[in-house]
Structure 1
């Protein structure tokens, strides 16, 4: 039952996010969508994905988008509106994708998957948390790609700070 509540929240807020013209409302609707997806991850016992969803998307990306929308609004006493006036193709394509994904989910027979039946009988019984096994793999087998990704993110952060600085031309 809780899954259906989170799924309905994700779908309704996603639809509202696509259809609204107010960018700030769209950003807050994205917040509800991302939080409900994190709730679905918790229900699936994917604790690492849930924490990653909260930390990276909700904590980082969404806050960055919301601050960008709120701080870049130079027009006073007016809400920031999207300039998109095409309201036919977006909902049509989204509806077709929804119909196709719904058909695939119904035909998939997800309840018969063997790993799901095993997880149903042994829910956090003797098994370790996924965070522990991912952390061990990350710090042993994949330490070089992890450090390269962190270096790339640091370079992107320095570049973003440089682009955001106020450049005054000296004569």
Structure 2
């Protein structure tokens, strides 16, 4: 099961994901940052495929690449042309960010080395995982599902309210 070709492909996608995520954080141009976020999202989807989570991988591509990233790109491009705002962002707070990164990586490494039993289970799930997700979402988790939809609607209304452009003098 540990084919060397799969290992090389996994590390290739992991490297693409990490380098594009670092480019998202450290670039000063918002457009370049958004386009490297595209590679980050696709890399994460590829890693989901390697984890045999095909449904989550497709959801990652459809929701994040097809929805969020396109919305982000249109928002940046339209805002720039309407309000004549520069597309440069300042990278500030390097020291606190580095300390936070070190703390998170330290916590993850501690969890990784102190947790036993990382091997996958030998038992396979029976039936379609999509059917099980749909059943659980619409039966046991219908209230949290609806609460999240209301929260997202409120966030969308708030974002539209904050993003409206008031002309000076009116």
TM-score (norm 1): 0.72
Residues 1:118 and 2:122 are matched in the alignment? yes
Q: In the TM superposition, what are the counterparts of 1:1-171 in structure 2 within 5 Å?
A: 1=7, 2-74=9-81, 80-91=87-98, 93-95=100-102, 97-98=104-105, 100-102=107-109, 104-106=111-113, 108=115, 111=118, 113=119, 116-118=120-122, 122=124, 127-165=126-164
> Which has the bigger relative contact order, CA under 8 A and spacing at least 6?
1
Deviates more, 1:25-34 or 1:156-165: 156-165
Q: Shift of the alpha carbon at 1:54?
A: 1.9
Deviations 1:57-80 (A, max 9, x none): 22222222222222222487x961
- Show structure 2 runs of 5+ residues with no match: 1-6
How many residues are paired up?
162
Return the alpha-carbon distance in structure 2 between the equivalents of residues 164 and 12 of structure 1.
31
Deviates more, 1:157-166 or 1:132-141: 157-166
- Show structure 1 runs of 5+ residues with no match: none
Deviates more, 1:17-26 or 1:57-66: 57-66
Q: Shift of the alpha carbon at 1:40?
A: 0.7
2:45 touches 2:56 (CA, 8 Å); kept in 1?
yes
1:17 touches 1:29 (CA, 8 Å); kept in 2?
yes
TM-score (norm 2): 0.72
Q: Shift of the alpha carbon at 1:153?
A: 3.0
Return the alpha-carbon distance in structure 1 between the equivalents of residues 103 and 154 of structure 2.
40
1:47 touches 1:130 (CA, 8 Å); kept in 2?
no
The RMSD of aligned alpha carbons is 3.3
